[in-house]
Structure 1
Amino acid sequence: MKDNEYKLGQIVWADYTSEHADSLKEFYKEVAGWKEHPIKMQDENGEYHDYAMLREENEVAGGICYKRGVNSAIPS
């Protein structure tokens, strides 16, 4: 990574695993102005969506994932 590639304090990437992913994505949309990109997921209880959160049209800031399926053992 180059010294000037990122700005001081810039969020570069973060994944957040929560039992309340829909509420959390709405928080980041309101506070940071990010947009969600739903990612279809499935577990033994059916389909749901995790989210890639976008700063710009194609610039991914991070992910918000439900604490279920493949992410069920990941700490919040």
Structure 2
Amino acid sequence: MTSASFVANVVAMRASHLEDFYQFLRFPSVSTDDQYTEKVTECGHWLVEKLTQIGLSAKLCPTPGHPVVWAHNYQQRGRRT
């Protein structure tokens, strides 16, 4: 991908990416407040879905506290995620 095509792609997808970002920010996931435990988990599921949509293998891993989102890129081995 050339720099010009990258920039064109960013411009074309800007609104969609911003909406995803705003949707992510709207999760009331104050992790230190037990009242938001369910919302933290919902946010994790949302993030797993988004990561899967871009080609990563993603899952929500339960922990004694809040779940952790784990993602791996099997498409290009060795590439950082």
More strand by share: 1
Do these two structures clear the TM 0.5 threshold for a shared fold by scoring above it? no
Structure of larger gyration radius: 2
- TM-score relative to the length of structure 2: 0.35
- TM-score relative to the length of structure 1: 0.37
Using CA pairs under 8 Å that are at least 6 residues apart, name the structure with larger relative contact order, 1 or 2: 1
